[in-house]
Amino acid sequence: MTPDAPQPPQVQVNPGEVYWINIPKTHTVGHEQYDMRPYVIVSNIDINRRGTVVGVPFTSVKDPSKMSLLPPFWITVPQKELAVDWGATLGRVDSVAKCDQVRVLDRDRLGTKIGAVSRTALEAIRLGIGFVLDIQ
């Protein structure tokens, strides 16, 4: 495609939206998250328009009795705080945002949109990132 050719329109990616992201194991080292998993977008729209987004991976804790053992920078997102798009699937368990695994992602990594977290959940995740980065 030449620089003068019309570019296909990009879908706007908003803070709080949750997408499937696939990170191959060969693209990670040590304890970095890999494989297909949901990521919540935490970067603002101006950053998202530039070709990259900043995301935090979700995981699930299947045993609710272990929720109190999670580190303070793993933010619990109750199922009721995630609006799932019609036709999208995500397990029927609470999610945990692993704020110590915040990552810059190229928009080409964005898979299917799952839905969006509530404003309250997004702010809690951002506070978790602030804790990890020691931002006061």
The model's pLDDT over 47-81, given as tens digits with 9 standing for 90+, comes to 999 999 999 999 887 777 777 788 899 999 998 99
Q: Compute the mean pLDDT over every residue in the chain, rounded to the nearest whole number.
A: 87
Please tell me the predicted confidence (pLDDT) of residue 9: 52
Residue 35: predicted pLDDT: 85
The CATH number of whichever domain residue 128 belongs to comes to 2.30.30.110
Region for 115 from its dihedrals, namely left if φ exceeds 0, alpha if ψ lies in -120 to 50, beta otherwise: left
Count: domains in the chain: 1
User: What's the pLDDT score for residue 57?
Assistant: 96
Q: What is the pTM of this model?
A: 0.86
Query: Are residues 54 and 103 in contact, defined by beta-carbon separation less than 8 angstroms?
Result: yes
* pLDDT at residue number 126: 96
- Domain range for 63 is 17-133
